[in-house]
Structure 1
Amino acid sequence: MKLKVCELFAGVGGFRLGLEKAGGYEVVWSNQWEPSTKTQHASQVYAARFGSQNHSNTDIEQVATDEIPNHDLLVGGFPCQDYSVATTLKNSKGLLGKKGVLWWSIHRILSEKKKKPKYLILENVDRLLKSPSSQRGRDFAIMLKSLSDLDYVIEWRVINAAEYGMPQRRRRVFIIGIHKSSALYSKYMNEKPEDILLRKSVLANSFPVQKVALNLSSFLLDDSVLSVSENFNKYKKLSPFLNSGICIKGIVTTGKTTPNYGGSAKMLSEILENGVIPNDYFISDVDLPKWEYLKGGKKEVRKTKEGYKYNYSEGSMVFPDALDKPSRTIITGEGGKSPSRFKHVVQTKKGMRRLTPVELERLNMFPDNHTKLEGISDTKRAFFMGNALVVGVVERIADSLLEEIVV
């Protein structure tokens, strides 16, 4: 029997692709809503590839929990925002997430579901472990405390896909939740934190690390989410959360792990298309100096709108991009012809050019032309990939979760 999955913040379906590649999972409900655009392009792609049945294109904050079917696994790449909390006016013990913060939609679903999902796989940018700058690590601490209060053991790891042979240097934090109703919960409860992080967990099995002393640190989160929000790590410059960790009953244990991978690595050159590339992707002689300036190092005096002069400096970037290494991280502004410091540029026999939508899909390990749909521009397709996750990472985590459940 397959695990039933609820996919939130689905985008164009990266989580679903990884789960389906692993096998053993069935998405029974999905949601994708983009508040800043009238036309819901990502949802259109998702529905075109996976079907519109059981797919919701409604603001998740407006979806009642009882409209979401029961599921075994909840997944989602939720936005990184300010997760601060406040007491309600009617009830000083009640908590409200900051309005418009989508983490609290996940929390609300988990809180209100009588049959809670046994497993969670969540993904975010790694700065989540350090935000906000005024109170380093507070947002992640709020997440850990609120999930712990809902009887989840939480494991996390910052994973750079390229360090495990994948074609893009994309660093993201992956968060695994195991509910006490799952048989897997007792496995976590009965192991030492160091053993969990090194070898006896979903993430340790899917992304092995070197078996060295981790120099672990441990601390207890405050007794309420509100207290965590107001007091966690106040006046300190560094976040206490390192790239790996575990939270069990509010006790956090964290350390720095180092990848242990000896397999093959995929290079940028291996994902390039062999066919005819449209001329629009090639950089003209007229535009080349603009690209060289933006990619180059700078030490110059600049002026604000108010006329204030200041010294500006930045280092140079490799230009064009190295073909014998995994690519740099794709960002949402990857598309379009305009010169940019951050867009990828490769040298080919015909000249220097930008990456095509298919090549960007390959860097995230999506099927070719997954995002190709009538009415959706190449620039929008590039935007999708800037927001997407690396499918191969999800597939390996999904494989490991199934193995842990079976064992």
Structure 2
Amino acid sequence: MKKTVCELFAGVGGFRLGLEKSSEEWKTVWMNQWEPTRKSQWAYECYIENFGKDKAINLFSNTDISEVDTSVIPDHNLLVGGFPCQDYSVARTNAEGIRGKKGVLWWDIHRILKAKKPPFVLLENVNRLLRSPSDQRGRDFGIMLSSLNNLDYTVEWRVINAADYGFPQKRRRVFIFATRKNTNYAKIYFENNGMEIITKDGFFSSIFPIVENEKYEMNSTKVPENLVDATKKFEFDFEIAGFQKDGEIYTSAVDPKEVGEAKKTKIKDILESNVPKRYYLSDKELEDWEYMKGAKAEKRVAKNGHEYTFREGAIPFPDSVDEPARTILTSERSKNRSTHIIEDEDTGKLRKLTPKECERLNCFPDGWTNTETMSHSFRYFAMGNALVVGLIELMGEKLEQIIENE
């Protein structure tokens, strides 16, 4: 089986980069990246600059994915993508068919899977997907599992904090691995019991070990086959690890087997030297930053005249360079409470992280986003949207073994 890839919602190419780091045999046959609210398609342009402008006409798509006819997408054996967390609810059409909510990108993934039937799928999302929406917890993920089951996929998921496994950022994301039931690999889900898959023999546990504990409890349920029923009725507490086969869901709260202190990568390990003055805080700014980062208990008045007390806890200021970074957000470029502020080890002064340092926190090569067209501020935004490439590299090594056994 060839190691061919279709990359959706590609951003600046984190999935592709990680796979190609794991093996030169991975070949991306088609990609799509589109920012509907932006005139300048900087992420797409960054992608083609790094992966080859000469291939852009045939392999790269900068179009609203909902407008792409699946016939133009080449056959592939692995579909990957980091897609937005949205409301996945469905409704019936007048003809009693199932209709996904308009503009929800999950249904474009579903449409492509239905047409192309790739044997393997690897997706990434924010971990709140497992608990959304707040008034019907687990519904959205249940709809995803139900729709994948209807397409003849088994599904495994795991919330992974990159820092637990030696990477320099505390970035928690849920990864979803789907396997068509007619593959050799899918047999493990039917030949092993639920806890063995979750703790030892599954796709994720074989790459990212968890602590052995006989006290782990496993919960299970069955997702409705009918997506409308799932939309109206399904509710379930998904834990950070689990899998689904034939509509039966198994899930458990497990503990990651973290790397030892010597193998942890910390902020200080990725810092640049001789950082330009533009990244340092001025004396005038310092008071604002101290206020934003500090604890608060303030009387405020809502638009309707209601008075309330706004409370907010303090966060580290400056951030410790002896720990992995907090999660980089798309607002990292701005004067924002979540923006990292560190004490520069060369000067002893407070400063922001540089775009290159943010690239390093996500395991991208230095200057990956320093392209001809991308703005300085969007370099931060791109890294706030990106994934930790090192995680994909490890998954790519496992996927290479799986495909070679097909």
Please classify the TM superposition score into its range, dividing by the shorter chain length: over 0.9
Contact 1:15 1:394 in 2 (8 A): yes
Q: Which residue of 1 aligns with 2:219?
A: 217
Match of 2:19 in 1: 19
Question: In structure 2, what is the Cα distance between the partners aligned to 1:259 and 1:187?
Answer: 22
Match of 1:87 in 2: 92
SS in 1 for 2:86: coil
Report Cα offsets for 1:132-160 as digits up to 9, x if no partner. 11211100000000001111010000000
Q: Could you tell me how far apart the structure 2 residues matched to 1:169 and 1:380 are?
A: 21
Q: Deviations over 1:13-32 (max 9, x none)?
A: 00011100111311100000
- For residues 271-316 of structure 1, the C-alpha deviation after alignment (integer angstroms, 9 at most, x for no partner) is 1002x22211100001100000000001111223454321011110
Whole-Å Cα distance in 2 between the matches of residues 177 and 365 of structure 1?
25
Superposition RMSD on alpha carbons, in Å? 1.3
Q: Distance in 1 between matches of 2:184 and 2:402?
A: 10
Which digits, 9 at most, give the CA deviation of each residue in 1:225-265, with x for residues without a partner?
111111112xxxxx410000010000000001111133400
- Among 95, 99, 102, the alignment partner of 1:99 is 102
| Equivalences for residues 318-337 of structure 1 within 5 A | 318-336=316-334
Q: 2:171 matched to which residue of 1?
A: 170
What is the CA–CA distance in structure 1 between the aligned matches of 2:398 and 2:374, rounded to whole Å?
35
Amino acid at match of 2:120: Y
Please name the residue that 1:365 is paired with: 363
| Residues 1:33 and 2:29 are matched in the alignment | no
Separation (CA, whole Å) in 2 of partners of 1:319 and 1:169? 17
User: In the aligned structure 1, how far is the partner of 2:196 from the partner of 2:404?
Assistant: 20
Task: Report how far residue 2 of structure 1 moved.
Answer: 4.1
Bigger Cα displacement from structure 2, 302-311 vs 362-371: 302-311
1:236 corresponds in structure 2 to none
Distance across 1 between alignment mates of 2:378 and 2:259? 36
Give the structure 2 partner of residue 257 of structure 1. 254
Provide Cα deviations, 1:33-91, integer angstroms capped at 9, x if missing partner.
011111111000001111224000000000001110000000000000000000112x1
Is the 2:2–2:77 Cα contact (8 Å) retained in structure 1? no
Unmatched runs of 5 consecutive residues or more in structure 1:
234-238
User: Relative to structure 1, is the Cα distance of residues 373 and 405 closer, same or farther in structure 2, using a 3 angstrom cutoff?
Assistant: closer
- Partner of 1:205, secondary structure, is coil
1:160 aligns with 2:156: no
Q: Distance in 2 between matches of 1:110 and 1:376?
A: 32
SS of 2:185 mapped into structure 1: helix
One-letter code aligned to 1:54: L
Matched, 1:71 2:73: no
Say which is worse superposed, 121-130 or 19-28, in terms of deviation.
Answer: 19-28
Given that residues 5 and 75 in structure 1 are in contact (C-alpha distance below 8 angstroms), is that contact kept between their aligned partners in structure 2? yes
Deviates more, 1:10-19 or 1:276-285: 276-285
Match of 2:234 among 223, 232, 235: 232
Match of 1:347 among 326, 339, 343: 343
Whole-Å Cα distance in 1 between the matches of residues 209 and 301 of structure 2? 49
AA at the equivalent of 1:341: R
User: TM-score normalized by structure 2?
Assistant: 0.95
Alpha-carbon deviation of 1:202?
1.5
Instruction: Tell me how far apart the structure 1 counterparts of residues 239 and 245 of structure 2 sit (CA, whole Å).
Output: 16
1:126 Cα deviation after fit: 0.2
Q: CA deviation at 1:404?
A: 3.4
Q: Is the 8 A contact 2:5 2:77 kept in 1?
A: yes
Residues 102-147 of structure 1, C-alpha deviations (whole Å, 9 max, x = no match): 000000111122xx10000000000000001121110000000000
- Partner residue of 1:385? 383
Query: What secondary structure, in the 3-state scheme, does the structure 2 residue paired with 1:82 have?
Result: coil
Structure 2 residue identity aligned to 1:209 = I
Q: 1:304 aligned to 275, 283, 302, which one?
A: 302
Q: Is the 8 A contact 1:197 1:246 kept in 2?
A: yes
Residues 160-218 of structure 1: per-residue CA shift (max 9 Å, x gap):
00000100000000000010232111222211111111111211111111122320011
Q: Name the SS for the 1:206 alignment partner.
A: coil
Kept in 2, the 8 Å contact 1:206–1:399? The answer is no
Taking the aligned partners of 1:2 and 1:356, their CA distance within structure 2 comes to: 39
Residue 160 of structure 1 contacts residue 170 of structure 1 at CA under 8 Å; is this kept in 2? Answer: yes
User: Matches of 1:401 and 1:200 in 2, distance apart?
Assistant: 14
* Residues matched between the structures, number: 395
Matched, 1:4 2:9: no
Identity of aligned residues (%): 48
